[in-house]
């Protein structure tokens, strides 16, 4: 983990408070991600049409569905079909089993018209014949205690899932320890001609030349790179004639959650409940057919219950000696917990720009944050805590703890929206193929392009959109349009 996450002394940032988790490593944050792999739906892509807030995406679910399918087949995903219009099903491999308490909650939620589904994990549970770097999941236990990822790579990570297979084609060169600080511009055409970068070790400067430049440094770093790329042709930063680069930032808000005790499980013999990549997911149920008085959009819950190799309840159990051990063992498998992830609304006034003074360890200007949660997020979080309690109580599960505080901005590590796509070049940075409106041989294929955050985790959508954009790019390239 230490070698994956950045040292903030070398990589500072400034402005409003923000928990910015960054991985400067081959494969980025996918080396340590939680693997919850969800699709967005037209409740997300056409959110403005649904509730009037913000902007619709320039695509609909039908446009991206074939690419979600390709990602599912290529990388593997486990789960159960639920036929929900707001959380479309994937092409699932074998699902994880739910624990006793989770099944109880699922059955109870059905009566409330809500769904608890096994964790939709970006993990291959049946194996992938086309990938020699990844094994199928053997459910060996303590999945969430493997910082740095699943060592047999059943869980998707970019190196074994994408990068090594791409290298095997012989058409890819990787240069690690390279810090891009500028997209270079041809002064005659204004088009991108390559990237300026510095070697993080030797500090020597280099240029990489290219007919097309594809930026995918993660949402905030990509915005920083565009803003850093100022030239006479692009005085506000490349691709930024709209002034929207760095703006419309959105993400997920988290914090509220509940812990419950499934009393029937106290004193029961242990079962292997953490031999799986995740517990469960409760999809959004607010503002679908109903209209909540306090907030628009929705939230989902991630959670799990049952035994784990290390009983987390040991920390909170009173006493010592033999009685303490018995109490911990008796209760170890009886807990169930869930925490909410809610949509943060995209707002122009939530933005990042370059700090005019502060620089990182390589002398590159850092990002300055101007961002905070608004009233919609606060009201949504109040509802999360209440709804979480209500669901456990309805299932006859005793609530033993409630968190109602919002965590700091950035905590969800699902940053999105700093170079959003749209049909109007005056109010968006990219077109529906993540191609710059201003510079046609410049693409930005990460979460920057998302128009709204949805409440579903973004990584599967980032990859499906990137696949779609790359197909378009290849077509345009062949036609000589770039
Ligand atoms: C603990 C954790 C749990 C998560 N759980 C989930 C989950 O359950 N589900 C989900 O959907 N998402 C989850 N995420 C988020 C997920 O990891 C990200 O959505 C995903 O990794 C984004 O991919 P990316 O390529 O855009 O960015 P990153 O993964 O951050 O990769 C960016 C890459 O760009 C490189 N880079 C950055 N700046 C420069 C530069 N200037 N020059 C050269 N290279 C540069 C970095 O070294 C890195 O390799 C989680 C993240 C974390 C950290
Ligand atoms: S349980 Fe987790 S760590 Fe173990 S093989 Fe499956 S994905 Fe990998």
For ligand 2, the distance from its centroid to the CA atom of residue 161, given in whole angstroms, is: 15
Kindly state the average pLDDT of the residues 264-286. Answer: 93
Is pLDDT above 70 for 243? yes
Answer yes or no: are the C-beta atoms of 324 and 482 closer than 8 Å.
no
Which ligand lies nearest to the CA atom of residue 139 in the structure? 2
Is pLDDT above 90 for 64? yes
Answer yes or no: are the C-beta atoms of 342 and 456 closer than 8 Å.
no
Conformational region of residue 19, where left means phi above 0, alpha means psi within -120 to 50, and beta covers everything else? beta
> CA-based Rg of the chain, rounded to a whole angstrom?
23
Is pLDDT above 70 for 310? yes
Q: Which of 6, 21, 29 has most ligand 1 atoms within 8 Å of its beta carbon, as the pocket-test mutant?
A: 29
C-alpha to C-alpha distance for 190 and 174, rounded to whole angstroms? 27
* Exposure string over 451-477, b if 16+ CB within 10 A, otherwise e: bbbbbbbbbbbbbbbbbbbbebbeebe
Kindly state the average pLDDT of the residues 44-66. Answer: 98
For ligand 1, the distance from its centroid to the CA atom of residue 319, given in whole angstroms, is: 42
For ligand 1, the distance from its centroid to the CA atom of residue 156, given in whole angstroms, is: 13
Is pLDDT above 90 for 214? yes
Is pLDDT above 70 for 148? no
Task: Kindly indicate the confidence band of residue 171, based on its pLDDT and cuts at 50, 70 and 90.
Answer: very high
Task: Kindly indicate the confidence band of residue 146, based on its pLDDT and cuts at 50, 70 and 90.
Answer: low
CB atoms within 10 A of CB 239: 26
What pLDDT sits at residue 377?
98
What pLDDT sits at residue 274?
85
* Exposure string over 154-165, b if 16+ CB within 10 A, otherwise e: bbbbbbbbbbbb
Three-class DSSP category at 436: strand
Q: Which atom of ligand 1 is nearest to the CA of 224?
A: 41
Is pLDDT above 80 for 141? no
pTM exceeds 0.85 for this model: yes
Strand partners, 215: 444
Which ligand lies nearest to the CA atom of residue 25 in the structure? 1
Answer yes or no: are the C-beta atoms of 337 and 257 closer than 8 Å.
yes
Our answer on whether the CB atom of 254 is closer than 6 Å to any ligand 1 atom is no
Residue nearest to atom 2 of ligand 2 (CA): 143
Kindly state the average pLDDT of the residues 264-270. Answer: 93
What pLDDT sits at residue 312?
81
What pLDDT sits at residue 329?
92
pLDDT tens digits for range 350-360: 999 999 999 99
Residue nearest to atom 52 of ligand 1 (CA): 33
C-alpha to C-alpha distance for 72 and 84, rounded to whole angstroms? 18
Q: What percentage of the chain carries pLDDT values higher than 90?
A: 92
Q: Which atom of ligand 2 is nearest to the CA of 121?
A: 7
Q: What is the mean pLDDT of the chain?
A: 96
Task: Kindly indicate the confidence band of residue 291, based on its pLDDT and cuts at 50, 70 and 90.
Answer: very high
Which ligand lies nearest to the CA atom of residue 124 in the structure? 2
What pLDDT sits at residue 2?
63
What pLDDT sits at residue 272?
87
Our answer on whether the CB atom of 457 is closer than 6 Å to any ligand 1 atom is yes
Answer yes or no: are the C-beta atoms of 305 and 226 closer than 8 Å.
no
Report phi then psi at 463, rounded to 5. Answer: -75, -40
């Amino acid at each position: 983990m230490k070698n994956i996450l950045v040292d903030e002394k070398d990589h500072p940032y400034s402005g409003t408070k923000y928990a910015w988790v960054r991985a400067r490593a081959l494969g980025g944050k996918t080396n340590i991600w939680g693997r919850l792999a969800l699709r967005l739906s037209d409740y997300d892509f056409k959110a403005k049409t649904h509730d009037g807030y913000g902007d619709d995406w320039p695509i609909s679910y039908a446009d991206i569905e074939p690419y979600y399918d390709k990602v599912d087949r290529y990388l593997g995903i486990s789960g159960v079909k639920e036929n929900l219009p707001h959380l479309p099903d994937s092409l699932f491999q074998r699902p994880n089993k739910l624990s006793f308490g989770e099944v109880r909650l699922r059955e109870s939620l059905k009566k409330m018209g809500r769904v608890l589904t096994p964790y939709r994990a970006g993990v291959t549970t049946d194996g992938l014949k086309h990938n020699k770097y990844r094994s199928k999941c053997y459910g060996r236990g303590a999945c969430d205690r493997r910082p740095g990822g699943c060592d047999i790579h059943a869980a998707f990570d970019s190196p074994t899932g994408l990068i090594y297979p791409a290298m095997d084609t012989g058409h890819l060169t990787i240069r690690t320890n390279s810090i891009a600080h500028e997209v270079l511009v041809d002064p005659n055409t204004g088009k991108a001609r390559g990237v300026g970068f510095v070697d993080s070790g030797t500090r020597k400067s280099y240029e990489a030349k290219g007919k097309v430049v594809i930026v995918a440094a993660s949402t905030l770093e990509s915005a920083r790179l565009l803003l850093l790329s100022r030239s006479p042709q692009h005085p506000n930063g490349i691709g930024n004639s709209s002034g929207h680069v760095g703006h419309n930032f959105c993400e997920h808000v988290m914090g509220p959650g509940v812990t419950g005790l499934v009393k029937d499980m106290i004193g029961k013999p242990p079962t292997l409940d953490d031999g799986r990549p995740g517990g469960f997911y409760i999809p959004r149920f607010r503002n679908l057919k109903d209209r909540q008085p306090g907030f628009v959009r929705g939230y989902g819950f991630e959670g799990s219950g049952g035994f784990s190799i290390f009983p987390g309840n040991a920390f909170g159990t009173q006493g010592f000696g033999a009685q303490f051990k018995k109490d911990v063992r008796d209760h170890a498998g009886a807990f169930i917990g869930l925490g909410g992830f809610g949509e943060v609304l995209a707002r122009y006034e939530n933005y990042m720009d370059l700090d005019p003074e502060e620089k990182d360890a390589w002398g590159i200007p850092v990002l300055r944050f101007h961002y905070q949660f608004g009233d919609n997020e606060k009201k949504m979080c109040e509802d999360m805590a209440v709804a979480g309690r209500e669901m456990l109580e309805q299932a006859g599960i005793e609530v033993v703890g409630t968190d109602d505080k919002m965590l700091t901005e950035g905590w969800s590590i699902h940053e999105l929206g700093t170079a959003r796509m749209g049909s109007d070049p005056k109010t968006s940075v990219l077109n529906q193929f993540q191609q710059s409106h201003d510079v046609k041989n410049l693409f930005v294929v990460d979460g920057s392009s998302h128009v709204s955050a949805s409440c579903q985790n973004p990584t599967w959508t980032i990859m499906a959109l990137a696949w779609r954009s790359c197909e378009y790019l290849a077509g345009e390239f062949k036609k000589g349009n770039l």
